[in-house]
Each structure stands twice: as structure tokens, then as C-alpha cells.
Amino acid sequence: MRLSPSAIEPGSSFAEALLVWYGQSARSFVWRQKKPNPYHVWLSEMMLQQTTTQTVTPYFEAFTKRWGSFQHLSQASLSDVLQQWQGLGYYRRAENVWRCAKEVATNHQGVLPQEVNALLKLPGIGPYTAAAISTIAFEKSAVAVDGNIARVFSRLLCLKESATDLLKVVRLEAKSFLPQDSVLKNKSFPRPYGDYTQALRDLGASICTPQAPKCLLCPVRSFCKAARLGTQGEFPRKKEKKAQPHRYGAFFFVVCKKDGTFLMQKEQNALLKGLWRPLTTAWGAQKQEWIPPLASTWQNIGTVQHVFTHFKLCLELFYTQMPDKNLSHKGTWVSLADLESYPVSTLAKKALKCYKGFVSPKAA
């Protein structure tokens, strides 16, 4: 049931009004529990970085079923973690999850630190994630500001800043809106800090949306300057979008009938590191005649396209057969049946699907 603003007591503080609404309208997620599990809170926050709740849910369930604690996850191999992460994107997060679990298990006896400053020292945890974990998992007073929360405050206060500057300003302004003594002493709110942070996120996701905000249903409408002025659509200030650049390249599938397909692992300091892929070219700004990595008869078997955060990529796919597996490149030969067991990026998965459709249509 959603509360209308009229259901909020006159004279309520911003935090109190928000918490009353959250008590009736909180979204339900598998990682949200009456008594928060710090491991679950941490893992969900790591997965939710730049990813929607709908996408994260099945991955979170699979991870926690396979690795139920920091100790369990710390004992996994990076390869296993990357494989479980396949399709979730932003693969550096997967490595950070693995590294962070090892750090907590080794140097913190498997117990996640509670304070923001200590959390910031762990791999993959920035200011927002540290604040969110601290307040949600441990009921600490902290200001967590993501895109949803920044949008709420930009309208609440009619802030003119955009993008990165907005986050900085909101982190300062939002401190005065945290639950105060009257809320903290109210037994109706057993977890005021953590629920307040989650209520702000829910408000931004379901009420104070980027387009067509549902102001008539907003529990804190009476506090909102933009709602009073009718200027909700003007906030947050939009940043001028730049055209996304295109890059081009090629994948080369080298096949030896007896030994399978040749794959190599991405070098450690590059995009998609730790994942397996076919031989490739460097990715450039211009489409060109690609030079194969070895002399052979090559067949073009298609193209794949993929959108990264900062550019769009188009890869041409080439195929050749060799009589033996004598290659100078460092990698491994994988049978068609075993390709699924190797962790690959979404990009490589698209290419492998095209390749399997070419060599064995029934297997694709």
C-alpha cells in the first residue's frame, strides 16, 4: 500500500515522513532482510554498481547459494568468480569482489568493517558503497548518495549543479536531513539510518523518477522546493551528451580438429582482464583490412557489435583450420563442448555463439 502525503503527520521531519512511507512501501529484494546480513548487503552493493536490481537478483541468488560467506568466497578461484559473473558486465567489479572477500577473510577474520573509513580501504569500495554498507548493514550515521538520491535532493533543493558536481553538493547538503533525535528515539523506527538510506533510493526509483515524477504520491512533497515551484522537470540539470565513439577490430578463431578452438586469456592490466577470448587485433577508430595473427586461409564468418560504457565496438569474425596446434601464442585449446566452462565476457560470448553457429549449427 502506498501512503499519500496526507497520511503523514503535520510537522513531521523529512526523515520521519520518509520512514513512515518506507514502512508501508518498501520494495522487496532478496538481499533486504529484517536483520541485515553484512555479507549480503556488501555483495548486493558491489553488484548494484551501475547495474539494475532486476539484473542483479539472479546473480546475487546464485552467488550466495554457491558462496555463503566471505570465507567461502575467499577460497574460490578468480576464474570461478568470473565465470559466475558472466553476463553481469563491468568485470573489474568481479575481481574486486574476489579480492575484497580475501581481504576480509584474511585481515578482518571474516568480519566486514563497520565504519566508512575502514570500508574505503577495501578493494572496489568507493564513497557511496562504503556509506551504504555502513548505514544499511550496521546502522551507522552516513550519507550515501547515488544517482537516485542525488536526483531527489536536486529537486528538493533546486540545485543547479549537474553530474559530478551535483554528487559533491548533495553529500554536503544531505547531512542536515539525516534522522535526528526525535526519530532515533521513536521505537516505530528500529533501523532509522539504514531504512532512511534505502527509503531515499526507493523514492528516487519509484516516485522521484527521471521522467514524469509522481509528485502527488510523494511522502516528502511538502519539503520539495521544485514541487512548490512546478519546476521538477528542470532538475537535475542535464549534461550535454557527447556522441559515443566507434571502435573496430577482429576476432580470429583458430581451430585444430583434434584439439579444438584456441583461446587466450586477456592480459592483467587491460579491459576484460582475466577472461578468455580468441586471438584479436587492437581496437581502433577506423575499420580496415585486418592482418591475421598467422599465415593461413581465413574465412569471414560474421560480425558482432557490443556497447561499452564509453564506446561502441564492431568486431569482424574470421575462421581458419590448422593441421596441428603448433602456435607461438600463449593460450589453450578448448573443445566445442567445453567452451561453456571458460569465463568469457559478454562480447566474447556473442562471438562464440556466432562461431558455434558456423561450425556446428545444432550446437549454437
Catalytic residue numbers?
45
Three cell numbers at 307?
Answer: 556497447
DSSP state of 284: B
Cα separation, 19 vs 41, whole angstroms: 20
Strand-pairing partners, residue 263, are 332
Is residue 91 within 8 Å of residue 57, measured between CB atoms? no
Cα separation, 364 vs 362, whole angstroms: 6
Strand-pairing partners, residue 305, are 314
Cα separation, 104 vs 74, whole angstroms: 8
Q: What are phi and psi of 149, to 5 degrees?
A: -70, -40
Residue 323 CB neighbour total at 10 angstroms: 8
Q: H helices within the chain, ranges in order?
A: 14-25, 38-47, 53-66, 70-74, 78-85, 92-107, 116-119, 127-138, 147-157, 163-173, 181-184, 192-206, 225-229, 346-359
Strand-pairing partners, residue 307, are 312
> CA of 131: how far to CAs of 41, 144, 209, 278, 346, in Å?
12, 5, 22, 40, 30
How many angstroms separate the most distant Cα atoms in the chain? 81
- Residue type for 251, please? F
Q: How many CA atoms lie within 13 A of 204 on its CB side?
A: 19
Cα separation, 290 vs 349, whole angstroms: 21
Cα separation, 199 vs 79, whole angstroms: 36
- The answer, yes or no, to whether the previous bond of 127 is cis (omega within 30 of 0) is no
